[in-house]
Amino acid sequence: MKVLLSIKPEFAEKIFSGEKKYEYRKVIFKRDVTCVVVYATHPVGRLIGEFEIDSVLSERPRDLWEKTKEFSGITKDFFAEYFQGRERGYAIKVGRIRKYEQAVLPDSVFKKGFVAPQSFRYVDALGL
């Protein structure tokens, strides 16, 4: 199964360049997900690629940072602010990546209109 994640353009680009090897989340999916479709948020507003999930780490934020900071693609301050007040955080380890040759308008893929997910959205095969 695939999941759609909304990711800020600067972080999405770091994922596809290989600089950012972990995508952080406050909540994680309950189903068996093997692939992430990346929706680069405003001002891009398009599906730009996907990556396989290598693994998902679930830790206290302090421990999560220590295990992932080398390839976090973000600052320690940004990380701390994101997980402030949380007992647990999640890091999706980026596996094999595939950037689309042409970014895709979400409305051309989703039949009932597109609303960017706040955390994630399960998707069936999109044919991308």
Q: Are strands 89-104 and 46-59 parallel, antiparallel or unpaired?
A: antiparallel
- Does 128 map to a domain? no
DSSP reduced 3-state for 115 = coil
- Does 48 map to a domain? yes
Within 73-126, strands assigned E span 89-104, 121-123
Structural domain including 73 reads 2-123
Q: Output the pTM of the full model.
A: 0.93
As for how many domains the chain has, the answer is 1
- Does 90 map to a domain? yes
**Amino acid at residue number 27:** V
Over residues 27-48, the pLDDT tens digits come to 999 999 999 999 999 999 999 9
- Does 103 map to a domain? yes
What CATH code is carried by the domain that includes residue 29? 2.30.130.30
Tokens, residue 117: 């997910």
Over residues 49-102, the pLDDT tens digits come to 999 999 999 999 999 999 999 999 999 999 999 999 999 999 999 999 999 999
| Separation of first and last alpha carbons in the chain | 14
Q: How many CA atoms lie within 13 A of 101 on its CB side?
A: 1
